[in-house]
Chain A
Amino acid sequence: MDNTDNRTDLPEGRAGQTREAADTATAQAASGKQAKTGGMTRRTLCLGIGGAAVMLGLGGLKLANPQAIIRPPGGQDEDRLISACIRCEKCYEICPRDVIRPAHIEDGILNMRTPTFDFSENYCDWCTEENGGTPLCVSACPTRALELPAGATKENVIIGRAVINTDWCLAYKLIGCRFCYDTCPYEAIKLDDENRPVVLDNKCNGCGACESVCVSLQNGSISEGATSRAITIKPLDQVER
């Protein structure tokens, strides 16, 4: 049986029937129970407007005071990073030292799932060993949220700055610990007269090497009440007055 759509092929009578049926259907739809606005039910319209409003409301989160957190190389321009990052976790995955982690909600709602650093196991040396000094996170970022300015080197891009909590630092209890001093690749830590480490602000770029070797937390009985290691990398905003 050929039931192709070509109505003009149909005998006169049947075509008439079809038209009638269609007209009836139109009338029924027009007097339908659902109030319609521009071919859309009111319910759909409400849902749509509600959804769009939520999206605009979420956008307003940008207006809330953003919390500064440390960023991987190329993410120092905070506005750029927030505007371009789609939270795809690519930088987290590619990082050969596994020091990049997605930020948590504690770091701010807007920062959630954007890249930040976790120096508990290792530190960032711009993939010198792994990729000849070009950070893999920067080359893997598909949206250029992480992008290095021209002439950027690991010495002149400041990720953050090491800050020593002297209450928790073992050396400040005159125990003679100097792990951070020994490991710093930039000679940005000096020892004072009592062999206590002091960060040289103009040399520290926040690579995290000191934080990754700090043993203060392993000595909980000595540094009681500590919630983090004694030397940590802080974003510049929090360090500079």
Chain B
Amino acid sequence: MKRNSKTLRTITALVIVAIVFVGFLTNLGIGTISAPGIWDISILCPLGALGTMLASKMMVPRAVVSLVIMVALIIVFARAFCGWMCPVPLVQKLRGVFTKPEKQAKAEKAKAAKQADDKATEAAANIVPLTEDEKAALATGCEKDSKGLSGCAGCAKKRGEAVDARHFVLGGALLSTFIFGFPVFCLVCPIGLTFATILLLVNLFAQGDVTWSLIVVPAILIAEVLLFKKWCHKLCPLSAFMSLIAKLNRTFKPTIDNTKCLETAQGKKCGACGRACDEGIDPRHPELSEAAWSECTKCRSCMDACPAHAISMPLIAKKGEPVSLKGNDE
């Protein structure tokens, strides 16, 4: 079986864009991701739901119901929306168009990877068992130990564990929404702007609707997600909202089968899963993670990267199985 979740993720995001596109051309009311649904049934984006209620100071039943469902979905799937559905990563792919020709870059990358592989094979040929120190490090969790002392210092700065820039943006957006009385972030939300751009193009070609919006809307979008490369990690308030709720997530966690993992089963050095993670989570060595588990987008990169196919994403990890994954989830 070919393991290429990256392509699959691109395809799912494209399919969603295609469905929205069909919505623009028909009168079914499929809606954009801000309020997907059909006819008069729709589920609101959680930020939109919060924003509309904060701004209008009214309880909107549909918004409350949407919020509850969304929170439940985030608890089950964590930030899977970011990995599988959000159109912003698609927009960010455009960056490749303006930079170095991709083929060339890819070839260079492949070359480097091959060299690294060769080295790895070489190293694997004369397996060096882990030293006692390394084994101890492998066994170190980041959780508070029996004496209540906090674990290693590395954890203190993990993205997603404490508030970061995204949470400031989220707080600022909600506060501004409440003070000024309109859903402020919706005005510049890159997800909304992506679909707005598509709609503007549809109307340009279908009705000859020429407007300055055709320049302004894509310009704001580009400024947000192409100039701020780390939009999703550093600024997106939706990502902040999801990571807050995803702290409760216990399902679909990448789980390592220790009988297969090269590090535990054979004592080899690997770390491929940690390097593959775009969010900076290291499933094997949580103490080395740059991000907390709540940042996991369930993108399956670690599963794809694992040379021993030792990582799975079970609905609920069996007791005793998650081993070193523990401790990084608090």
Contacts and interface: CB of A to CB of B under 8 A. Distances in A.
> Do the two chains bind?
yes
Interface of A: 1, 3-5, 7-8, 10, 14, 17-18, 21-22, 25-26, 28-30, 36, 38-41, 44-45, 47-49, 51-56, 58-63, 79-80, 82-90, 92-96, 98, 101-102, 104-106, 109-110, 112-113, 120, 136, 139-140, 142-145
Interface residues of B, number: 95
Interface string B304-330: 000000000000000010011011000
A140 B55 contact: no
Contact of A84 (B40, B43, B56, B167): B56
Contacts of A144: 58, 60, 62
A101 B154 contact: no
A88 B169 contact: no
Contact of B182 (A17, A39, A83): A83
Contacts of B143: 5
B254 interface: no
B165 interface: yes
A163 to B, nearest CB: 22
Given A14-B136, A48-B167, A104-B212, A93 B28 contact: yes
Interface stretch (B192-200, B244-252, B272-280): B192-200
B139 A10 contact: yes
A223 to B, nearest CB: 19
9 contacts: A3-B135, A26-B152, A28-B153, A29-B156, A48-B163, A87-B34, A87-B192, A106-B212, A144-B62
A105 B213 CA distance: 5
B258 A3 contact: yes
Given A5-B323, A62-B180, A56 B175 contact: yes
Interface of B: 23-24, 26-32, 34-35, 37, 39-40, 42-45, 48-49, 51-52, 55-58, 60, 62-63, 66, 132-133, 135-141, 143, 145-146, 151-154, 156-157, 162-169, 171-173, 175-177, 179-188, 192, 195-196, 199, 203, 207, 209, 211-213, 216-217, 234-235, 258, 264-265, 267, 320, 323-324, 326-327
A83 B324 CA distance: 47
A62 B217 CA distance: 19
A44 to B, nearest CB: 5
Nearest to A29: B153
Contact of B264 (A1, A45, A83, A88): A1
Contacts of A8: 146
Contact of B171 (A28, A39, A52, A92): A52
B188 A47 contact: no
Contacts, number: 259
A110 B181 CA distance: 12
Contacts of B163: 40, 48
Closest 3 CB pairs of A and B: A52-B172, A48-B168, A59-B176
Given A26-B152, A88-B34, A136-B29, 17 more contacts: A4-B320, A5-B139, A5-B324, A18-B139, A22-B153, A39-B156, A56-B172, A61-B180, A61-B187, A88-B32, A89-B195, A89-B199, A94-B40, A136-B40, A142-B35, A143-B52, A144-B60
A105 B324 contact: no
B326 A104 contact: no
Nearest to B267: A1
Contact of A94 (B39, B139, B162, B187): B39
B168 A59 contact: no
B162 A142 contact: no
A128 to B, nearest CB: 16
Nearest to B187: A58
B55 to A, nearest CB: 4
Contact of A18 (B24, B140, B154): B140
A52 B62 CA distance: 28
A134 B326 CA distance: 55
